[in-house]
Amino acid sequence: MDAMKVDPVVVRAGDHIVIRMPSTNSKIVCVKPNTTIGLGKFGSFQANALIGQPFGHTFEILKGGEIRPLEQKGFDDAELTSANNQNINDDPQSQKLTFAEIEELKAKGLAGDVTAQEIIGSLTENNQTFAQKTEYSKSKYIQRKQRKFMKSFVPLETTVYNLNDFFFEVNPGKIRGIRVDTLSQVMSLANVYSQARVLVVDDGQGLLVSALLSRIQDGLVFGVHEGDVPNYDILRYANLPLDMRDRLLTLPWTKLHHQMHPFTEVLPDNPSENDRNGFERRQRGHAKLAKSIDTLNGGEFDALVISTNYSPVSVINKLEPYLGGSRMLVVYDPCKEPLLEAYTMLRQSPAFINVQLTESWLREYQVLPNRTHPLMSTSGSGGFILSAIHLASS
Whether residues 147 and 267 fall in one domain: no
The beta-carbon contacts of 90-93 under 8 Å, at least 24 apart in sequence, are: 90/129
In the listed set 152, 176, 194, which residue is the last one of a domain according to the structure?
Answer: 152
For the ranges 180-184, 271-275, 296-300, 329-333, the lowest mean pLDDT is seen at: 271-275
User: Of the ranges 151-155, 348-352, 368-372, 379-383, which is most confident?
Assistant: 348-352
Whether residues 167 and 273 fall in one domain: yes
What pLDDT shows up at residue 73?
Answer: 57
Q: What is the dihedral of CA 199, 204, 210, 212, to 10 degrees?
A: -30
Using a pLDDT cut of 70, give the percent of the chain over it: 84
Give Cβ neighbours of residue 313 (< 8 Å, ≥ 6 apart).
Answer: 341, 342, 345
pLDDT at 385 over 50: yes
| CATH code assigned at 199 | 3.40.50.150
Query: Is residue 197 within a helix (H) or strand (E), and if so which, with residue range?
Result: strand 197-202
Q: How confident is the model at residue 42 (pLDDT cuts 50, 70, 90)?
A: confident
Please provide the average confidence, as pLDDT, over all residues in the chain.
86
Q: What is the dihedral of CA 330, 331, 333, 337, to 10 degrees?
A: -120
Domain assignment present for residue 2? The answer is no
What pLDDT shows up at residue 83?
Answer: 52
Give Cβ neighbours of residue 223 (< 8 Å, ≥ 6 apart).
Answer: 200, 201, 202, 209, 230, 232, 248, 249, 250, 251
Whether residues 211 and 121 fall in one domain: no
What pLDDT shows up at residue 85?
Answer: 54
DSSP state of 328: E
Whether residues 245 and 260 fall in one domain: yes
In the listed set 152, 179, 211, which residue is the last one of a domain according to the structure?
Answer: 152
What pLDDT shows up at residue 4?
Answer: 47
Whether residues 174 and 219 fall in one domain: yes
pLDDT in tens, 277-329: 998 999 999 999 999 999 999 999 999 999 999 999 999 999 999 999 999 99
Q: Are strands 16-20 and 59-61 parallel, antiparallel or unpaired?
A: unpaired
Average pLDDT in the 46-51 region? 94
Domain assignment present for residue 39? The answer is yes
pLDDT in tens, 316-347: 999 999 999 999 999 999 999 999 999 999 99
Whether residues 262 and 145 fall in one domain: no
* Cα–Cα distance list, 160 to 163, 212, 245 (Å): 5, 9, 15
Reading across the β-sheet that carries 59-61, which strands appear in turn? 26-30, 16-20, 152-157, 59-61, 67-69
In the chain, DSSP finds a helix count (H) and a strand count (E) of: 11, 16
pLDDT in tens, 136-172: 777 777 777 767 767 889 999 999 999 999 999 999 9
| Residues constituting the chain | 394
pLDDT at 200 over 80: yes
Whether residues 254 and 330 fall in one domain: yes
Average pLDDT in the 105-113 region? 66
Whether residues 83 and 57 fall in one domain: no
Give Cβ neighbours of residue 154 (< 8 Å, ≥ 6 apart).
Answer: 19, 20, 56, 57, 58, 59
Distance CA 132, CA 123 (A): 15
Cβ distance 80 to 137 under 8 Å? no
Whether residues 118 and 175 fall in one domain: no
What pLDDT shows up at residue 275?
Answer: 86
Count of structural domains, the chain: 3
Reading across the β-sheet that carries 248-252, which strands appear in turn? 248-252, 220-225, 197-202, 301-307, 323-333, 384-390, 352-359
pLDDT in tens, 246-266: 899 999 999 999 999 999 888
Domain assignment present for residue 11? The answer is no
Domain assignment present for residue 251? The answer is yes
pLDDT at 175 over 70: yes
Whether residues 63 and 88 fall in one domain: no
- For residue 76, give the nearest of 375, 368, 370 by alpha carbon: 368
What pLDDT shows up at residue 132?
Answer: 63
CA end-to-end span of the chain: 57
Point out which residues pair with 36 in neighbouring strands.
46
Whether residues 86 and 204 fall in one domain: no
DSSP state of 79: P
Structural domain containing residue 237: 160-390
Cβ distance 388 to 320 under 8 Å? no
pLDDT in tens, 3-38: 444 456 899 999 999 999 988 899 999 999 999 999
Whether residues 225 and 300 fall in one domain: yes
In the listed set 152, 169, 199, which residue is the last one of a domain according to the structure?
Answer: 152
Distance CA 158, CA 8 (A): 15
Give residue 267's identity as a one-letter amino acid code.
Answer: L
